[in-house]
Amino acid sequence: MCWLEVSRLDIIDADIRRAETLPSRFYTDPNTFDEVISGFANSWHFAAHEDQLSSVNALPLPHIEGMVREPMLLTKDDEVRCISNVCTHRGMVVVNEPCSAGVLVCPYHGRSFSLDGCFRHMPEFEQVEDFPTPADDLRQFPLESWKGLLFTTIDGVDFERWIAPLEERLGWLPVDSFRHAPSRHREYTIEANWALYVDNYLEGFHIPYVHGDLHDVLDHDGYRTELFDGGVLQVGMAREGESCFDLPESSPDHGERVAAYYYWFHPGLMLNFYPWGLSVNLVVPLSVNRTAIVYHGFVGDESLLDMGAGGDLDKVEDEDQFVVEATQRGVASRAYERGRYSPTRETGVHHFHRLLTRG
């Protein structure tokens, strides 16, 4: 065990009233960054909504490559699979853009594979002995679906257990019928550590200070934060007259005025459910102080777009990026090392920091 591993364990007190926040090196030190993200292979990662495969049959997953440093590809023939996107000849990435092809052909020297990843053909290899073997096929990765949302992993925990907090709360929501909306796609690169972006997401504490328009539609006192094993759920309540879910009796929140369900799954997956549909936000660590933020939108009811908490997401994002980038400059200061938590408003951030440092 190296000193970095030793230094990670138990550094966040379980009692939020006594705890200090994450030491600043988690946001600024490249070695700590490398150590932390090496653990991401143990998580499930959002790959795509099945609707994204309605017009293509091979979809590269660059955001997952950013998370776990593993080029992956979703393919669809008689079934949907997640396979390696690395050619078994000399390691070229096989598919670089979404496409509709019956056969996958490596652009480097022409090796071809079926959509299920099986080796098909290789030019100039007639004289090679013991060829091909199963090692020449593209490797498969686990793939699971929850209501049309596809998730993959390298060494993930039990999927049913992992997804249970979502199923228990939103099992009634017809996510499978949501349609991919390419016009809602966004990609940003911000000058900040990925965990600062997650910290900011995990508390509604800043809403009155940072997001004036959002504050006008959310009931600040009704805002709830619930912790579960692999993540955090925040429930935003609508002010009187503002857009909210029409919750069926089967919902545990039936009778309440829910404006948004904000799910975060460790490390960087955010599933934001609004009355109009789902905004998936992916937090992709590029380096210790650069992060990509990727948005995918899936619409269930177009008539509810642009209303309530899920209305002007671009403005909210802009406001969040301002504080997150400025905080990156602040945590790099000699004058800053650690802070303290609000026991009423920062339980989600505390839970995240405990997850990050539990070894």
Give me the residues that bind ligand FES (CB under 6 A), please.
Answer: 87, 89-90, 92, 106, 108-111
Binding window for Fe ion (CB under 5 A); candidates: 28-36, 69-77, 246-254, 315-323: 315-323
* Residues 235, 253 contacting (CB under 8 angstroms): yes
Binding window for Fe ion (CB under 5 A); candidates: 97-105, 110-118, 143-151, 319-327: 319-327
Which is closer to ligand FES, CB of 116 or CB of 144? 116
On the CB side of 147, CA atoms within 13 Å amount to: 18
**What is the secondary structure of 219-267 as a DSSP string?**
-GGG-EEEEETTEEEEEEEBPTTS------TTSTTTTS-EEEEEEEETT
Binding window for Fe ion (CB under 5 A); candidates: 83-91, 135-143, 316-324, 327-335: 316-324
Which is closer to Fe ion, CB of 150 or CB of 237? 237
C-alpha angle 264-339-229 in degrees, rounded to nearest 5: 25
Length of the chain (residues):
359
Which is closer to Fe ion, CB of 93 or CB of 323? 323
* Residues 347, 16 contacting (CB under 8 angstroms): yes
Query: Is 203 among the residues that bind Fe ion (CB under 5 A)?
Result: no
Least distance to ligand FES, CB of residue 83, Å:
14
Helix (H) or strand (E) holding 166: helix 159-170
Task: Tell me which of Fe ion, ligand FES, none is bound by residue 358, counting a contact when its beta carbon lies within the kind-specific cut-off of 5 to 8 angstroms.
Answer: none
Least distance to ligand FES, CB of residue 68, Å:
21
Q: Which of 70, 203, 320, 346 binds Fe ion (CB under 5 A)?
A: 320
Q: Which residues of 108-127 are buried (b: 16+ CB within 10 A; e: fewer)?
A: eeebebbbebebeebeeeee
Least distance to ligand FES, CB of residue 131, Å:
13
Interacting residues toward Fe ion by CB under 5 A: 320
